[in-house]
Structure 1
Amino acid sequence: MLKIAICDDQPRELEIINKYIKEYLDGHILDAEMKKFAHPDTLLTAMETESFHLYLLDIVMPMVSGLELGQSIRRISREAQIIYITTEPGYALDAYAVNPLHYLIKPVEKRALFSVLELALSKVDSGKEITVTVKTKEGLRTLSTGQIACCEYKKHLACYTLIGGEQVETTTLACGFAEHIAPLLRDARFLSPHVSFAINMSRVEKLAREGFYLREGGFVPVSARQHAAVRNAYLNYRLSREEN
């Protein structure tokens, strides 16, 4: 499902943008979830536990500007599409530091927004989102691959690190770890650099000789035997994202 976040501190503008996007989605029969945020802090809080495919952001907002918000989004995801919507054309050059898809000036013209939405959705990979359901001590938990930064095998358990740092630990696995992570590896973002790990390559902060450093603060080693193959797979992933 496509997930869209709209952030604007002006209630009227927020409702207009929301109305236009809903009209576009209904007209194209697209399955999507939209969330409105009247303050950047509330969006930042939401981003601790969930991710969005598309962000539409005002630039001039209290406390945290849209430019700062865009930088926070980029620390979480290089793949998310960002569209800036503002009354201030002078910020356009600064805005491109976070590689936004487009920059629209208020009052937003519906036709211009629809055109940008069409471009954004052509770049979003929401239809390929894979989910895994795991058994924990608290019960069943369904996770989307977009939520997962890393999965590690520990003492017959699988420990998931989610975007934002939350840890989800399964009960004892009823199968081998390789079989357990097979659904994750069907997602092009995922790689198994070691028999005890699967990582989301979009969450990599740095690749060093000894392994991957993740944005969530963790470290994932690379098997010496697989080092060349893993390095090439990661570089190919990065190149493919830059081309897109």
Structure 2
Amino acid sequence: MINAIAIDDEPMALEVIKSHAGKVDFIDLKETFVSGKEALEILKTEKVQLVFLDINMPDMTGLDLSQLLPENTGIIFTTAYSQYGADAFNLNAIDYLVKPFDFARFLKACQKAKEQLPETEPDRYLFVKDSYDLVRVDLENLLFVQSEGNYLTFHEEDKKTVTRMTMTELVKTLPASHFMRVHKSNVVNLHKVKKIERHQVQVSEGIFVPVAANYHGELMEAIKKQWTVK
């Protein structure tokens, strides 16, 4: 799975990238930004391997921004102008997409990124705040996460941890290859799913997690990648 972001000052262009990226099973588009400066702030703390980057932007050009990205960050330029191609490849860009581009061309660029970028192991744990303490949550042992208001309960195989965090913040933190939101109040570890029923999944003996109808189809697609489904 390749963690990616997209930067473009045109919201409609970002919607196109978001739609295309949602069809590529090895691309996890974490965030989209209309400002290069805003994206740079996120890149100081977030692990991002690939950036879909527009060139003509008001606060900073994509060519200038590309030189400020963390070392070894892959870049696919997305622009309406073909004349910057030579400059882009001189900056070791993975690919250069001229708008409007279709899904087939987008997928080809993503395949190049997959071939060129080093594989990364998903995070194995995270630390969450419990009162005044930081508690380690082992992701391999995490069964599911349940939300109630602005609080989350992490249900591991041997313990529970409650922290103040929103579900939206959690989804951005967990590796998408292992965890999936299946309800407005629940995220499950796909590797722990033992049984899928119409309205719930079993993640351990006697432990079931509700699945909302609008997430069921997406869950089945994700499970097909984990299991051999006949």
For normalisation by structure 2, the TM-score amounts to 0.52
CA distance in 1, matches of 2:134, 2:61: 40
Q: How big is the shift at 1:63? A: 1.3
**Which residue in the other structure is 1:6 paired with?**
6
Aligned residues: 136
Higher relative contact order (CA 8 A, sep 6+): 1
SS in 2 for 1:128: coil
**Which residue in the other structure is 1:52 paired with?**
48
CA distance in 2, matches of 1:133, 1:24: 26
CA distance in 2, matches of 1:23, 1:134: 31
Asked if residue 139 in structure 1 is aligned to residue 140 in structure 2, the reply is: no
Letter in structure 1 aligned against 2:15: E
SS in 1 for 2:44: coil
**Which residue in the other structure is 2:81 paired with?**
88
Deviations 1:193-242 (A, max 9, x none): xxxxxxxxxxxxxxxxxxxxxxxxxxxxxxxxxxxxxxxxxxxxxxxxxx
Letter in structure 2 aligned against 1:38: V
SS in 1 for 2:88: helix
CA distance in 1, matches of 2:133, 2:86: 48
Letter in structure 2 aligned against 1:41: K
SS in 2 for 1:24: coil
Summarize the Cα distance change of 1:16–1:140 in structure 2 as closer, same or farther, 3 Å threshold.
same
Counting only pairs closer than 5 Å after superposition, residues 15-30 of structure 1 correspond to structure 2 as 15-25=15-25, 30=26
Asked if residue 66 in structure 1 is aligned to residue 43 in structure 2, the reply is: no
Letter in structure 1 aligned against 2:24: Y
What's the C-alpha RMSD, in Å, of the aligned pairs?
2.6
Q: Determine which structure has the larger helix proportion and give its number.
A: 1
Q: How big is the shift at 1:68? A: 1.1
For normalisation by structure 1, the TM-score amounts to 0.50
Q: How big is the shift at 1:140? A: 3.5
CA contact (8 A) 1:53 1:126 kept: no
- Pick one of 96, 99, 107 that aligns with 2:92: 99
